């Protein structure tokens, strides 16, 4: 069955891989892409998103999301994505993609209301746009088919000792989403850090032909260099795991429990907290991915994008 998705991204090197996987998948139909502030400011993430969509031939419209978190001051990711937020690929001037005039949050609301139970939201940045859509139109939480998001951690943080970047960059938004009652699937660091790209794999992808593969390799070379320079090992495939889940949820191990976010503005700000286990409701939290499946889907997507 075709899955109709809206991606909300802060492109970002691994966000770009999420876009590649979605664009190249036979079972995913991209309804729209919203760029949000996160890894870098909105101006940069929007530009990066438009460029990536153009190169991949994504026909779906691209929208600007929010430039500022709900409450906290703006924070950007450290040194993983480079100065532009997407260092590595060089883009030609765009011929097709340009930002739509409608606001990203309004696009999310309108699309979900017009297609009840049909649209999967895939946020791979801070949750500002999703929280605002829920605040402006409370029916969004019930009418969205599912939200499959990258964010949070129960094994310690990657930006502070306790907090993962997407949760830390807008904790209040994350709390709204986690308590919304929507059908939620969460990819925390617990799961994503188990899926990394090795240098052998990257060398293999360099032999692939086509725009998708060139973009993938240009992004992943920078990502790899930045991880290695910081002594962080091999680069983590955080964001594309959400897309892989939409392609085939059976390839993941998950547990269902409540999740809340630390909103006290101290050293725990943005930490995701594991609440009680539940049979229904709460959040379906990924803790393990079938990595062979993930890379097989990447291969297929890159071949389709040739």
Residue 15 or 31 having the CB closest to ligand BDR = 15
- Rounded distance between C-alpha atoms, residue 100 and residue 191, angstroms: 34
State yes or no: residue 164 binds Ca ion (CB under 5 A). no
CB of 146 to Ca ion, least distance (A): 19
Rounded to the nearest whole angstrom, what is the least distance from the CB of residue 15 to Ca ion in the complex? Answer: 4
Nearer of residues 143 and 272 to ligand BDR, judged by Cβ: 272
CB of 2 to ligand BDR, least distance (A): 25
Interface with Ca ion includes 15 (CB under 5 A)?
yes
- Nearer to ligand BDR (CB atom), residue 8 or residue 143: 8
CA nearest neighbour of 149 among 98, 169, 161: 169
Instruction: Give me the catalytic one of 8, 10, 183, 239.
Output: 10
Which residue has tokens 């991880």? 227
Q: How far is the CB of 139 from ligand BDR (least distance, A)?
A: 27
For residue 15, what are the CA distances in angstroms to 33, 86, 123, 156, 280?
Answer: 11, 9, 10, 22, 30
User: 26: which residues sit within 8 A by CB, 6+ positions away?
Assistant: 300, 304
Closest CA to 86 of 278, 271, 202, 216: 216
Nearest-approach distance from CB 1 to ligand BDR, in angstroms: 27
Among 89, 125, 126, 270, binds Ca ion (CB under 5 A): 125
CB of 14 or CB of 54, closer to ligand BDR:
14
Candidate ranges 14-22, 85-93, 113-121, 132-140; the one touching Ca ion (CB under 5 A): 14-22
Residue of minimal CB distance from ligand BDR? 165
Q: Exposed/middle/buried for 245, CB within 10 Å: 0-12, 13-18, 19+?
A: buried
- Whether 85 and 12 have beta carbons less than 8 Å apart is answered as yes
Quick one: 15 or 129, whose CB is closer to ligand BDR?
15
Stretch that binds Ca ion, among 153-161, 222-230, 231-239, 294-302 (CB under 5 A): 231-239
- Are 35 and 45 a contacting pair, CB within 8 Å? yes
Q: What are phi and psi of 142, to 5 degrees?
A: -85, -30
Run of H or E residues at 258: strand 252-261
Q: How far is the CB of 125 from ligand BDR (least distance, A)?
A: 6
| Nearer residue to Ca ion within complex by CB, 143 or 189 | 189
77 touches, from Ca ion, ligand BDR, none (C-beta below 5 to 8 Å by class): ligand BDR
User: By the 8 A CB rule, do 147 and 184 touch?
Assistant: yes
The interface partner of residue 223, options being Ca ion, ligand BDR, none and the CB cut-off 5 to 8 Å by kind, is none
The question of whether 290 is a catalytic residue gets the answer: no
Evaluate whether 32 touches 6 at the Cβ level (below 8 Å): yes
Report if residue 235 touches Ca ion, rule: CB under 5 A.
no
Residue 158 binding partner per list ligand BDR, Ca ion, none, with a CB distance cut-off of 5 to 8 Å that depends on partner kind? ligand BDR
As a whole number of angstroms, the distance between CA 230 and CA 224 comes to 10
* Angle made by CA atoms 84, 100, 124, in degrees to the nearest 5: 50
Q: Which residues bind ligand BDR (CB under 6 A)?
A: 12, 14-15, 39, 77, 80, 124-125, 150, 158, 164-166, 238-239
Contact set with Ca ion (CB under 5 A): 10, 12, 15, 124-125, 239
Residues that are catalytic: 10
């Amino acid at each position: 069955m075709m899955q109709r998705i809206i991606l909300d991204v802060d492109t970002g090197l691994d966000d770009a891989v999420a876009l590649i996987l979605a664009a190249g998948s036979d079972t995913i139909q991209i309804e729209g892409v919203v760029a949000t502030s996160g890894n870098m400011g909105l101006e940069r993430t929007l530009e990066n998103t438009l460029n990536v969509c153009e190169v991949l031939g994504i026909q779906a419209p691209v929208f600007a999301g929010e430039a500022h978190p709900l409450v906290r001051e703006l924070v950007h990711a450290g040194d993983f994505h480079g100065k532009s937020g997407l260092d590595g690929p060089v883009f030609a001037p765009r011929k097709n993609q340009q930002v739509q005039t409608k606001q990203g949050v309004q696009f999310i609301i309108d699309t979900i209301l017009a297609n009840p139970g049909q649209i999967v939201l895939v946020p791979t940045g801070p949750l500002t746009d999703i929280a605002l859509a829920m605040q402006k139109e409370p029916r969004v939480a019930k009418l969205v088919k599912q939200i499959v998001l990258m964010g949070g951690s129960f094994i310690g943080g990657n930006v502070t000792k306790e907090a993962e970047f997407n949760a830390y960059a807008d904790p209040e938004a994350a709390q709204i989403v986690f308590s919304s009652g929507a059908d939620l699937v969460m990819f925390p660091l617990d799961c994503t850090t188990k899926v990394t790209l090795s240098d052998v794999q990257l060398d293999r992808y360099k032999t692939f032909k086509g725009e998708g593969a060139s973009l993938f390799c240009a992004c992943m070379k920078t990502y790899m260099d930045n991880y290695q320079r910081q002594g962080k090992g091999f680069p983590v495939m955080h964001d594309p795991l959400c897309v892989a889940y939409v392609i085939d949820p059976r390839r993941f191990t998950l547990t269902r429990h409540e999740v809340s976010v630390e909103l006290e503005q101290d050293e725990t700000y943005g930490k995701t907290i594991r609440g009680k286990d539940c049979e229904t409701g709460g959040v379906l939290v990924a803790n393990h991915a079938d990595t062979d499946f993930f890379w097989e889907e990447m291969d297929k997507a890159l071949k389709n994008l040739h």
